[in-house]
Homo-oligomer: A and B are copies of this chain.
Amino acid sequence: MANSASGESIIGRFVKIVSAFDDRHTSMTVAELGRRTGLPVTTTYRLVNDLLRERLLEREPGGDIHIGTRMWELVSRGSKMLGLREAALPFMEDVQAVVQHSTTLGILDSDEVLYIERLGSDKTIVDITKIAGRLPLHATSSGLVLLAHAPAAYQDSFLARPLTKFTETTLTEPSLLRRHLAEIRQRGFAAMPGVIVPESSGIAVPVFGPDNTVRAALSVVVPRNEENAAARVPVLMAAARGISRALGWRGELKGTLRQSH
């Protein structure tokens, strides 16, 4: 692979181009795209034109380009995210209706929580989760739930590296974290007051797939000063079980119980 002087494949360059767009920069001129990606000018134009031809990119009246509707459609339709989302949404709506604060669904990807769905952006409390946004595992309730149910080998390697301490309550000490993860597995939920942002706290529970492994974490963000945040747990758990069942989960398998840790 790599026809280029720099040794990159077209696929690699495609990724560079798509990556140049984010929620802050959804459209830009081709020249600017070239600058952002660092690709040679001519190459950028040629590649962009190829992508325009396939409708993976689109040119707007002003001349700026943006990610094409076709690309969004193809990826959304073929991705497993949609299935998960479809299964989760009705239950998330229920949670949202009762809890009133923002409800999110996150998965484990590349050592971080990737939020794939979110309902109810409540401006009154601080909530930095965004759809298609990422946050560190050890500093979010969703992340802790996902980490707690990940394979032991994975936990080990994750806990081996240095962890950023965002606020006073962020746990970074491996041994303390381990104990906390065990607790999360046992209680079935994670409740973290102000782990990233001091003013808000998150509560998260696991969502299971047919093979009884954890697929996602369902969580709500509430103001930290709320009296008994733990009262939210049953609602979340019920919803998570509903989602799990919609995914094909059949309750905890009594006979062939398989531990992931």
Contacts and interface: CB of A to CB of B under 8 A. Distances in A.
A48 B69 CA distance: 23
Interface string A17-55: 011111101110000000000000000000000110110
Contacts of A26: 78-80, 83
A12 interface: yes
B93 A120 contact: yes
A96 B80 CA distance: 25
Closest 9 A/B residue pairs (Cβ): A21-B78, A76-B132, A77-B132, A67-B79, A75-B75, A72-B79, A69-B109, A18-B74, A67-B78
Interface of A: 1, 9-12, 14-15, 18-23, 25-27, 50-51, 53-54, 56, 66-67, 69-83, 85-86, 89-90, 93, 96-97, 107, 109-110, 114, 116, 119-121, 131-133
A259 to B, nearest CB: 17
A80 B56 contact: no
Contacts of A14: 11, 14
A21 B77 contact: yes
This chain: copies in complex: 2
Given A11-B50, A14-B14, A15-B56, A79 B71 contact: yes
Contacts of A23: 77-78, 82-83
A114 to B, nearest CB: 6
A101 to B, nearest CB: 13
A25 to B, nearest CB: 8
A50 B18 contact: no
A57 to B, nearest CB: 10
B119 A93 contact: yes
B74 A15 contact: yes
B114 A73 contact: yes
Contacts of A132: 72-73, 76-77, 82
B120 A76 contact: no
Contacts of A72: 75-76, 79, 81, 116, 132
